[in-house]
Amino acid sequence: MENHDINIFWWISISLCLATIATIVITGIQGRRQPNQIPKKTLFFAIGLLPLSVLYFSDITILQSMKDEQFCNSCHVMQPFVDGLYDEESEGLAAQHVQHIRIRENPCYTCHSDYQILGGVRDKIRGLRHMLAFYIKDENERPELYDPYPNENCFSCHMESSTFMEIEDHADNIEELMTDDVSCLECHGPSHPEE
Amino acid sequence: MDLPTLKNRIKKHPIFLAEILMIAGLLLALITLLASLPILYLVFFSVGHVMIIAGLFFYFRAVWKDLKKHKVL
């Protein structure tokens, strides 16, 4: 989903929210004034149907905006990583990807999301855990990955490249690379500035 | 409004509880969308969703009881 799509969803969510609140309040007031003439159809629409559409659109909007690097940057422990992406002197792999426009948007999510079937869901749950940890724990430690960085995340883009297998080291070590016995970062790291 | 009056009102108009929960949940959604703060995302995903789903539950329960009362079901 592109960023302008998120804006459309944002506007739809806000409009639906306001419309639903207004309808509930109006039908509620009307119902109190004339208890025998409660507008049941309007009430069903306002309480039964509209809130579900609000949930749908607002969830999509919020979950999509959580992919943005500025969202990650809102936790102070992540600031060196996100700032490093735009540091022209940085030779980190992540900065090279962003500055040479290999990744056009959502760089954190693109590299750190799990590309398995339920990967996106797992990432969102992890994101919520990160937020909770940020507010509960008062730690300024450098965050670390749960597991070693999987090569699969690199392959999701680089495997499609026609030149990937033309590089001798890739062709020679393809089995080790596929099984994560050798990490891409061993040759191409560090991904972010060390400190 | 004191607590007994509120209880009485909820008993008399079961949809009132659904309305209150729904409005609270929707206001939370609105604030979350407008402010875009991570803490609000967390609150919306935990409390906001529960409020809206509870609102739906109380509304449909009231509708069900009403239909039973009028022997539609």
Largest CA distance in chain B: 48
Smallest Cα distance from A174 to chain B, Å: 40
ipTM (interface predicted TM): 0.82
Q: Which domain holds residue B47?
A: 16-69
Is B11 within the bounds of a domain?
Answer: no
Residue bearing the bigger pLDDT, B70 or B24:
B24
Contacts of B34 in chain A (CB under 8 A): 14
Q: Which residues of A touch B32 (CB under 8 A)?
A: 58, 62
* Residues A78 and A143 reside in one and the same domain: yes
Residue B61: in which H helix or E strand, if any?
Answer: helix B49-69
What's the pTM value of the predicted model, to 2 decimals?
0.77
* Cβ–Cβ below 8 Å for B33 and A44: no
- Which residue would you say has higher pLDDT here, A158 or B73? A158
> Has residue B55 been placed in a domain?
yes
For chain A of 195 residues, list the mean pLDDT of each consecutive stretch of 10. 74 93 88 74 85 91 85 83 85 87 84 82 81 74 82 88 87 90 89 78
Q: Are residues A23 and A97 in the same domain?
A: no
Please check whether residues A142 and A175 belong to one and the same domain.
yes
Type of residue at B53: I
Task: Kindly state whether residue A47 falls inside one of the protein's structural domains.
Answer: yes
How far apart, in whole angstroms, are the C-alpha atoms of residue A162 and residue A184? Answer: 17
- Contact list in B for residue A77 (CB cut-off 8 A) is none
Domain of A165: which CATH number?
1.10.3820
Q: Are residues A113 and A178 in the same domain?
A: yes
Whether residue A118 is contained in a domain is answered as yes
Has residue A193 been placed in a domain? no
Cβ A93 vs Cβ B64: under 8 Å: no
Q: Cβ–Cβ of A71/B38 closer than 8 Å? A: yes
Interface with B, mutate which of A10, A47, A50, A77 (most B CBs under 10 A): A47
Please indicate, yes or no, if residue A152 is contained in any of the structural domains: yes
Identify the pLDDT of residue A156: 87
Residue B2 placed within a domain = no
* Greater model confidence, B26 or B2: B26
Does one domain contain both A46 and A73? Answer: no
Counting the structural domains of chain A, the total is 2
Whether B26 shows a pLDDT value over 90: the answer reads yes
Looking at the partner chain, which of B19, B29, B44 has a beta carbon nearest the beta carbon of A47? B19
Count of structural domains within chain B:
1
Alpha helices in chain A (DSSP H): 3-33, 40-43, 50-65, 69-72, 79-85, 93-99, 107-112, 119-136, 151-158, 168-172, 174-178, 184-188
Which of these three, A65, A88, A112, is where a domain ends?
A65
Chain B residues near residue A135 by CB distance under 8 angstroms:
39, 42
Q: Which residues of A touch B9 (CB under 8 A)?
A: none
User: Residue A41 is part of which domain span?
Assistant: 3-65
Q: Are residues A51 and A85 in the same domain?
A: no
Nearest of B21, B34, B29, B52 to residue A52 by alpha carbon: B52
| Chain A residues within 8 angstroms (CB to CB) of chain B | 10, 13-14, 17-18, 20-21, 24-25, 28, 31, 35, 43-44, 47-48, 51-52, 54-55, 58, 61-62, 65-66, 71, 74-75, 128, 131-132, 134-135
A43 and A115 share one domain? no
